Copies of this chain bind each other. A is one copy, B any other.
Amino acid sequence: MDSTGPGRERIATVVSILSERYGEQLSRNDTICRQHANATSWHPVEAPDAVFFAESTDDVVQVVSLCAAHAVPVIPYGTGTSLEAGVNAPQGGISLDLSRMNAILAVNEDDMDCVVQAGVTRKQLNTHLRSTGLHFPIDPGADASIGGMASTRASGTSAVRYGTMKDNVLALTVVMPDGTVCRTGTRARKSSAGYDMTRLFVGAEGTLGVITELTVRLHGIPPAIAVAVCAFPDLAAACNAVISSIRYGLAPARIELLDGVQVRACNAYSKLAMPEKPTLFVEFGGTEKAVAEQVELFRELAGEFGCESFDDASGPDERARLWTARHDVYWACLQLRPGAKFIATDVCVPISRLADCMVETHADIEATGLVAPIVGHVGDGNFHVSIMADTADAEEMARTKAFIDRLNRRAIAMDGTCTGEHGIGQGKRRFLMEELGTTVGYMRQLKASLDPHNIMNPGKIFDR
């Protein structure tokens, strides 16, 4: 960020106008500003000049219009759980906090959709839906805002069954970089009406406009749910069991793989005694009969791939205990190396390459000497190496960064991606170029067309 110059002056002008007009809705408090910048990755914190707490789409229109008039950066902020520094403010400007826009505007039970403001979190929405038999199943782990989840094209454990945010947003209300309000679609389940503007904003990381409202799909909660936990002799066997079961037509709601190191961390943190081997957590949903049949079929298939232990946990308490262990992976990792920082990675490859990619990566972790358990959404070919690093140790960080580079390149070389669900943010801009090459030039062209002054979350996805 320039500390002097015309950019500084323009920002100061906008801050003073907003402060006068909105009072406490604008904060220049240093702690609040720093809290609104990157807190979850190893990238340096780059704080905004001020944080504006929007309470309505009209507030957003006013702020964006003012920032557009003065060419001042706007950084949309949901809950700040971005793992690639998506909320940093490298050029300063206004962090636009949408957390007060947390109204659930409509639940249309028969249509299995709802309309929410961007600041509604997924847990808040699911609590609200409790009496309907419906849920919003996209589950990235963190209790992120629905607007933020759309902006990073998030997914998580349930994508193998329910898809990603791309598949679950019907329409958006977006404040464009010129302050105009657009609605990108209708509540129709499908449409061929012109360009898919909805999908253009899903995954754009706030670089093309500010999402203020979303119409999202809901899904029925299945009447019966069962979970199987099974340990395999090696990563390849576990991956092959997954491929085989999907080919067979089994339709798990979740299918997660933990490597031996991760199981050890979970055992220690969650007081469990799972065999410290590559382990699949598989969840099935449906009628009681259908679920029982799927579990039995999966037991047979897992057996063919050398499954060494099969724990069929169909009671809700047992199920909750196991999924809690899976969801507490973050804390379990931190406990694995107290004081270390958690560095996330996020590659995704065609499932036929998953075993190769994981085995090579596992060998690389050992050769590099990192503390780095692996957990994967293996039904999608997506896995995360969670590196527990001492960020103050320059030599270790150099080794860590080199490992991440090799991991991203390994996935790209296998016709996969450097990011399955976290986004590009600041952290993966180089790899976006390596992955999609000339196509990135056309992305830039779209960005320049809709945001000619580059005020929307500048420095994310693209270098400038």
Contact status B200-A196, CB under 8 Å: yes
Q: Is the CB of B202 within 8 A of A196?
A: yes
Contacts A289-B289, A290-B293, A442-B197 hold; do A380 and B249 have CB atoms under 8 A apart? no
The reply to whether A417 and B222 contact each other, CB–CB distance below 8 Å, is: no
Residue contact A193 to B448, C-beta cutoff 8 Å: no
Q: State whether the Cβ of A351 lies closer than 8 Å to any Cβ in chain B.
A: yes
User: Are the CB atoms of A187 and B445 closer together than 8 Å?
Assistant: no
Instruction: Give the CA-CA distance A133 to B182 in the complex, in Å.
Output: 44
State how many angstroms separate the Cβ of A353 from the closest Cβ of chain B: 8
Q: Are B381 and A188 in contact (CB under 8 A)?
A: yes
Chain B contacts for A442, CB-based, 8 A: 176, 182, 197, 450
Contacts of A436 in B (CB 8 A): 183-185, 193-194, 197
Residues in B with CB closer than 8 Å to A183 are 436-437, 439
- Given that A220-B248, A249-B220, A287-B293 are known contacts, is A350 also in contact with B197, CB under 8 Å in the complex? no
The answer on a CB contact under 8 Å between A193 and B449 is no
* A387 adjacent to chain B (CB < 8 Å): no
With A199-B199, A432-B194 as given contacts, are A186 and B133 in contact (CB-CB < 8 Å)? no
Kindly list chain B residues whose C-beta atoms are within 8 Å of the C-beta of A382. 188-190
Q: Please tell me if A127 contacts chain B, counting CB pairs below 8 Å.
A: no
Q: If the complex has contacts A189-B348, A417-B188, are A194 and B110 also in contact, measured as CB distance less than 8 A?
A: no
Name A158-197 residues within 8 Å CB distance of B. 159, 163-164, 166-167, 176, 180-197
Identical subunits present: 2
Residues of B close to A418: CB separation below 8 A: 193
Main secondary structure of the interface of A (DSSP, over half): loop
Distance A53 CA – B298 CA, assembled complex (angstroms): 49
Is there contact, CB below 8 Å, between B184 and A420?
Answer: no
Q: How far is the CB of A243 from chain B (nearest CB, A)?
A: 5
Tell me, in angstroms, the Cα distance from A376 to B424 when the chains sit together.
41
Q: Could you say which residues of chain B place their CB within 8 Å of the CB of A243? A: 110
A183 to B194, CA, bound (A): 21
Q: Which residues of B contact A203 (CB under 8 A)?
A: 192, 194-196
Given A112-B246, A203-B194, also A415-B446 (CB < 8 A): no
Q: A108 to chain B: which residues have CB within 8 Å?
A: 350, 352
The one of B189, B199, B290, B380 that contacts A200, using a Cβ cutoff of 8 Å: B199
Cβ–Cβ < 8 Å partners of A445 in chain B: 449-450
| 7 A-B pairs whose Cβ atoms sit less than 8 Å apart in the complex | A184-B439, A188-B382, A192-B420, A195-B208, A200-B200, A289-B290, A446-B450
CB-based closest 6 A-B pairs: A199-B199, A449-B449, A110-B352, A188-B348, A191-B417, A111-B350
